[in-house]
Amino acid sequence: MIEAMPPGLVLIAGAFLLPATSGVARKALVLALPLATLGLVWSIPDGPALTLVFLDYTLTPVEGSRLGRLFATAFALMAFAGGLYAVNQARVVEIAAAFAHAGSAIGVAFAGDLVTLFVFWELMIIGSTLVIWSAGTDSAYRAGMRYTLVHLFGGIVLMIGIIGHIAETGSVTFEAMHADSLSRWLILAGFLVNAGAPPLSAWLPDAYPEASPSATVFLSAYTTKTAVYVLMVGFAGEGVLVWVGLYMVFYGIIYALLENDMRRILAYSIINQVGFMVTGIGIGTQMALNGSAAHAFAHIIYKGLLLMSAGAVLHQTGKRKCTDLGGLFRSMPITTVCGIVGAMAISSFPLTSGFVSKDMIGQAAGDQLLALVWFLLAAGSAGVFLHAGIKFPWFVFFQKDSGLRPPDPPWNMWAAMSLFAFLCIGLGVYPAPLYAMLPYAVNYVPYTSAHLVFQFQLLLFSGLAFFLLLPQMKRTLTLTLDFDWFYRHFLPRLCRAVASRGSETRRRVEHATMTRIRLVLEPFFRFHRPEGILARSWPTGGATVWVAVLLAVTLVIYYWQGAR
Amino acid sequence: MISLHLPALQVVVPLISAPLCVLLRRGFGAWLLATVIAWTAFAISLALLAQVLSDGALSYKMGGWAAPWGIEYRIDRLNAFMLVIVAGIGALVMPCAYHSVAREIAPERQHLFYAAFMLALTGLLGIVITGDVFNLYVFLEITSLASYTLVALGADRRALRASFQYLVLGTIGATFILIGIGLLYMVTGTLNMADLAARIPALQELRPVRAAFAFIVVGAGLKLALFPLHLWLPNAYTYAPSVVSAFLAATATKVGVYVLMRFIFTVFGARFAFEMMPLGEILMVLGLLAVMVGSLVAVFQTNVKRMLAYSSIAQIGYMALGISFASVNGLVAGIVHLFNHAAMKGALFLALACVFYRLGSVELDAMRGLGRRMPLTMATFVAAGMSLVGVPLTVGFISKWYLVVAAIESGLWPVAVIVLVASLLALVYIWRVVEVAYFREPDGDAPEVTEAPAAMLVPTMALAAACIYFGIDTELTVGVATEAALSLLEGGP
């Protein structure tokens, strides 16, 4: 039976092993587990590698595919670099949870059927929630709670969709489908929740920045990219995804431009980048899918790098707002260089990994003569440079002198950053290995003069715009409001505001409104509270009345049925 | 030779041990005897299950009297499976009982406790094994009377009132069942289930048969605590001794569900119950109400034992819902949940028994920071709790899966949504315990507590391990449940 173990299980099992070890053994394990997983990932041949019967279905928990291997490789690389980054600083529970999270994501990448997919999907939620909570702060606890609720809701939507799909088709295989029935729409919706699509995008920038510096690095890679993977397998060419993706591109840019917290900037930028991938999936041609896959791979690395450098700053200074930072290049040269490399990659500078991947999506839109999509993608690329390419390094490392003189972070942190920086540039200079892993044959040459001219124009003009508009861009101490503000602040504040208004008439009006709201909600809860009619201890007589009522009612019904 | 008489021994062995427990007059001796007997009964039930799985249903003539005149014990897959559940929980609860009973029950009453416990076990096994409806009633009374005694032994004075209420309502339920049986005997002249099943189809139009159906369903509904007939349950579970709550929650209501299934499918037949009578609709409405009300009320409780009691009401709603579909998948959901719920509620209540043993309280406030002080107990609680929520790779997920499949098969999407929303409510109330135990600091004056004794911990963890094991390897549980569901729907025992 164990011809092919799900590669993710190594990491998941390791997660349980880690807390039991200590000292050098633990460190060795943290570095060895992802590498062992990577080896396993590449040992799985194409096609079903393991089947087992579960309930009434034949499941395929491990099925190799080019696309799955690509994503799993990125996930394993991320686990290695993240583990290296975290090994000396993070709590062991954080690394363990992150490994369980990564292992489940790899499990999804190899899931050949919907049941396995759902199981790993839910395990991912548990793992990531624990990663957030391991920060140990109160705000992380609450953010983790909101995060779980959103994802469990998504899980329910997905589960109903999957069961409905199985009931309709009788097949559990996870393969390409179309959103043509309620159940498949529900599956699509469940996937999109994890991708950070509207209207529930806010879970991402809400939760990730609350985690510890190293935890955010882990989190950035898995949840959204597994969603990209499953969308690519299940819903390639689904037209609606083009517009969902474009919405995410601009949502991410606008909120990132308004944001002051450096890790929230990068979190919004995740949504923006995933938007590019989702758009590519919606276009659905081979070029577009290659582009989305390559971009996902490159993105995991450069976003990990950016968050590592932001995490290093946070770790060394304890500050996270752009307004408190600045001028750090003097004392943190390695972090600065690595941050700039990441920023260049995300803005698709030539000779970085972003350049060789992202523009494939734009090219695909052009090939399909989707003019509007192409223009919007180009505008989005310019926006990326504005919000992540310049804004993040400028405000954190240059700008004014904040007076802070922290040294570069400990060796393991900068080693992890250097590794990823090397990969960013390496893939940009020599993209052949990446192209070889893509699902379809690559028919795209990145380094043509047309591409280079276009890209430099884009970068130069948006760079110019940034510095011309610098006074407007300069962040003051602000908070940005997102959709989650409605359920987190607006409702509670409304209640408080209503309670504290002074004017007598006003109070009376408000009191009446509040009473009316309570009138609607209260009875519902009142019945269920301990003293409520449904929860209190009944006298025996009252309970007996219920018995009599039920007996009488059923008797009447049964007799009536007979009389018909 | 002995293997031929296993069906009789299954009931007789624990029955004889009860008076022996009284004669021993010593807590420890009675406990030792009861433990040995409980494990013997478990072994017998496993042997019976193996026999039924390999040779098919078997019939045993009590005292050599042939059916339908004598009492027939008839064991098919469904009740062989139930026997394993009941005897298995009994066997796992007994090792815990020693410490827990020593703390909660006065020494001079301990041997009586074990005697009553053995009687309750006898009754439950008897109800499950018999193929004779009057014999079923007799065992029902044995187990009920023993359970009233067990609940009344609770240390809290409110246990007496809870026991009294349980007694009144339980007796009404048993009487209803007896009235139903009497009506059936009146028109058919037989008490043997197989015989009844053969004769009822010709008499379906008769009013006494319909009245019998109403009486028996309501009577069984009382025993299994179907909403709104559940009112005896929260107090009984809350104030009973800890191990009694664990045992009754894991077995007694399940046996009630078994009785309901047996009467509906074997005696009356699925066609009569679901096509001629609107039982499906009634059970579905009551089941859904139970699921929502039980879960919501559980969310607001501050006593964890009481919270789990209300959660039981919701879980019973799931089983009623499974039956109400009258489809293979629905019944599989119901039957498999009998096992799954027994495992997880057994583990949860036993974990609470450990908590009570050290802490002397199961109030939410008292459990602050317990995750660090009793790590194994609370880890067990979390594992079983996740199972209650229905997290994948636990048994709860299997039950939920089949239930949702059955709902969608019948085209009842809203039912599927309610089932899953209620599982989120389960997360909320389990989470309240996790939050208090792991994320709150204990009060300054909280007593220093350590991990519970191994004798209590090991069975608790074994049950929690079962929650996970049978969530992954479902061959035994789902396999048996599917076969049992198929044969129930075909009709005939």
Nearest Cα to Cα of residue A257 among A358, A401, A385: A385
Tell me which residue has tokens 């804004």.
Answer: A391
Amino acid at position B324, single letter: S
Please compute the mean of the pLDDT values over residues A271-278 and round it to a whole number: 91
Decide if A555 touches B, using CB distance below 8 A.
yes
CB pair distance less than 8 Å for B299 and A528: yes
Closest CB to A561: pick one of B278, B417, B439. B278
Q: Which chain B residue shows the shortest CA-CA distance from A133?
A: B439
From the list A54, A543, A554, which residue is nearest B282 (CB)?
Answer: A554
Mapping DSSP onto H, E and C, the string for A466-512 reads HHHCHHHHCCCCCCCCCCHHHHHHHHHHHHHHHHHCCCHHHHHHHHH
Q: Is the peptide bond before A410 cis (omega within 30 degrees of 0)?
A: no
Q: What is the 3-state secondary structure (H, E, C) of A5-48?
A: CCCHHHHHHHHHHHHHCCHHHHHHHHHHHHHHHHHHHHHCCEEE
Domain ranges of chain A: 1-234, 236-480, 537-564
* CB interface of A with B, residues 172-191, below 8 Å: 182
**Interface mutation target, options A124, A129, A159, A544, chain B, most CBs of B under 10 Å:** A159
In this predicted structure, which of A161-165, A382-386, B264-268, B340-344 has the lowest mean pLDDT? A382-386
Question: How would residue A259 be classed by pLDDT, with cut points 50, 70 and 90?
Answer: confident
The predicted model gives A121-129 an average pLDDT of 90
The distance of B98 to chain A (nearest Cα, Å) reads 31
Kindly state whether A519 is in contact with chain B, defined as any CB-CB distance less than 8 angstroms.
no
CB of B389 within 8 Å of any CB in chain A? Answer: no
Distance from CA of A261 to the nearest CA of B (A): 27
Contacts of A532 in chain B (CB under 8 A): 297, 300
The b/e string for B328-345 (b: 16+ C-beta within 10 A; e otherwise) is bbbbbbbbbbbbbbbbbb
In this complex, which of A528, A532, A544 lies closest to B169 when CB atoms are compared? A544
Residue B236 to residues A498, B5, B240, Cα–Cα distance (Å) = 44, 36, 6
List per-residue pLDDT tens for chain B, 493 residues long: 677 888 888 899 999 999 998 888 888 888 999 999 999 999 999 999 999 988 888 888 888 888 777 888 989 889 899 999 999 999 999 999 998 888 888 888 888 999 999 999 999 999 999 989 999 999 999 999 999 999 999 888 888 989 999 999 999 999 999 999 999 999 998 898 988 888 888 888 888 898 999 999 999 999 999 988 888 899 899 999 999 999 999 999 999 999 999 999 989 988 888 888 888 889 999 999 999 989 988 988 889 999 999 999 999 999 999 999 988 899 999 999 999 999 999 999 999 999 999 888 888 888 888 888 888 899 999 999 999 988 888 898 889 889 988 998 888 888 888 888 888 888 889 988 988 888 777 777 767 788 888 888 999 999 999 999 988 888 888 888 888 888 888 864 4
Between CA A417 and CA A303 the distance in angstroms is: 11
The domain spans of chain B are 278-486
**What's the pTM?**
0.81
Chain B CB contacts of A543 under 8 Å are: 165, 169, 229, 231-232
Residue A61 CB coordination number (10 Å): 25
User: What is the phi/psi pair of residue A60, to 5°?
Assistant: -125, 80
Q: Which two tokens stand for residue A227?
A: 């969603």
What pLDDT, on the 0 to 100 scale, is given for residue B255?
94
CB-based contact A176:A234 (threshold 8 Å): yes
3-state secondary structure of B449: coil
* Rounded Cα–Cα distance for residues B245 and B356 (Å): 12
Q: Are B474 and A537 inside 8 Å of each other by CB?
A: no
Closest CB to A534 among B214, B297, B474:
B297
Name the minimum distance, in Å, from the CA of A361 to any CA of chain B: 36
* Cβ within 8 Å, pair B222-A126: no
**Alpha helix segments (H runs only) across B225-327:** 233-239, 242-261, 270, 279-299, 304-324
Distance (Å) from the C-alpha of residue A183 to the closest C-alpha of chain B? 10
A194 and A224 in contact (C-beta within 8 Å)?
A: yes
Question: How far, CA to CA in Å, does A444 sit from each of A261, A292, A356, B187?
Answer: 37, 13, 9, 85
Cα→Cα distances B4→B7, B38, B51, B60, B491, Å: 8, 20, 11, 8, 26
CB contact under 8 A, A558 and B408: no
Quick one: residue A537, left, alpha or beta (phi over 0 = left, psi -120 to 50 = alpha)? beta
The answer to whether residues A93 and A99 touch, using CB atoms and an 8 Å cutoff, is no
Task: Give, for B101, the enclosing helix (H) or strand (E).
Answer: helix B77-104
Range from A59-63, A188-192, A511-515 carrying the lowest mean pLDDT: A511-515
Residue-level pLDDT at A517: 66
Query: Is the previous residue joined to A530 through a cis bond, with omega within 30 degrees of 0?
Result: no
Nearest to B243 by CA among B125, B124, B120: B120
- Asked if A486 and A200 count as a contact pair (C-beta separation under 8 A), the reply is no
Rg for chain B, CA atoms, rounded: 21
**Contact assessment for residue A478 and residue A258, using Cβ atoms and an 8 Å cutoff:** yes
Query: Which of A287-296, A494-503, B17-26, B407-416 shows the lowest mean pLDDT across its residues?
Result: A494-503
Pairing of the two strands A47-54 and B58-61: unpaired
Measured CA distances, A480 to A255, A399, B261 (Å): 7, 22, 58
**Given A182, A535, A542, which is nearest B297 (Cβ)?**
A535
User: Token digits for A5?
Assistant: 């173990």
- Nearest Cα residue to A120 out of A169, A85, A71: A71
B427 lies within 8 A of chain A by CB: yes
B387 contacts in chain A (CB < 8 Å): none
Predicted pLDDT of residue A200 = 80
Instruction: Nearest by CB to A558, from B210, B421, B423: name it.
Output: B210
In this predicted model, what pLDDT tens digit does every residue of A90-112 receive, in sequence order? 788 888 889 999 999 999 999 88
Rounded CA-CA distance A144/B315 in Å is: 28
CA distances from B375 to A19, A20, A411, B165, B456 (A): 14, 14, 35, 37, 14
Whole-number Å distance between alpha carbons of B486 and A197:
44
With 50 as the cut, is the pLDDT of residue A498 above it? no
Token pair, residue B96, equals 């815990």
pLDDT at position B176: 94
Smallest CA–CA distance, residue B2 to chain A, in Å, is 36
Q: How far apart are CA B165 and CA A153, in angstroms?
A: 40
Name the residue among B257, B10, B241, B200 with its Cα closest to residue B114: B241
> Which residues on neighbouring strands pair with residue B132, listed in sequence order?
B192
User: Quick one: what percent of chain A has pLDDT higher than 70?
Assistant: 89
**Which among A123, A141, A542 has the least Cβ separation from residue B392?**
A123
Q: Are A310 and A266 in contact (CB under 8 A)?
A: yes
To test the contact with chain A by mutation, choose from B204, B216, B401 the residue with the greatest count of A C-beta atoms within 10 A, namely B401
The pLDDT-based confidence of A524 (bands split at 50, 70, 90) is low
Give the helix, strand, coil percentages of chain A, each rounded to 5: 75, 5, 20
The confidence score (pLDDT) of residue B121 equals 94
A1 pLDDT tier (thresholds 50, 70, 90): very low
pLDDT at B472: 84
d(CA B358, CA B103) in angstroms, rounded, equals 10
Q: CB distance from B406 to chain A under 8 Å?
A: no
CB-based contact A75:A109 (threshold 8 Å): yes
Q: Which has the closest alpha carbon to A76: A50, A51, A52, A44?
A: A44
Least confident window among A227-241, A274-288, A498-512, B344-358:
A498-512
Indicate the SS3 state at residue A173.
strand
pLDDT at A490: 60
Q: Is A544 on the interface with B (CB under 8 A)?
A: yes
Mean pLDDT of A326-338: 84
Please, which residues have CB within 8 angstroms of residue B347's CB and are 6 or more apart in sequence?
B380, B381, B383, B384, B387, B460, B463, B464, B466, B467
User: CB-based contact (8 Å) between A456 and chain B?
Assistant: no
Name which of A123, A535, A554 is nearest B300 (Cβ-Cβ): A535
Query: Which residues of B are less than 8 Å from A540 in CB distance?
Result: 164-165, 168-169
C-alpha to C-alpha distance for B387 and A159, rounded to whole angstroms: 16
| Residue in A closest to B218 by C-alpha | A551
Cβ atoms of residues A6 and A51 within 8 Å: no
pLDDT given for residue B393 in this prediction: 84
**Segment A470-482, tens digit of pLDDT:** 776 665 555 555 6
Å between B352 CA and nearest CA of chain A = 20
Provide φ and ψ at A528, rounded to 5°: -95, -10
Q: Is B398 on the interface with A (CB under 8 A)?
A: yes
User: Which residues, 6+ apart, have CB-to-CB distance to A282 below 8 Å?
Assistant: A237, A238, A239, A240, A241, A242, A243, A244, A245
Strand partners, A560: none
d(C-alpha B138, C-alpha B82), whole Å: 18
- Residue A534 predicted with pLDDT over 70: yes
Determine the Cα–Cα distance for residues B173 and B127; give it in Å rounded to an integer.
Answer: 15
Distance CA B257, CA B140 (A): 13
Interface size, chain A vs chain B, as Cβ–Cβ contacts under 8 Å: 121
Q: How far apart are the first and last CA of chain B?
A: 26
B-chain residue closest to A535, CA distance: B297
Query: In 3-state terms, what secondary structure has residue A197?
Result: coil
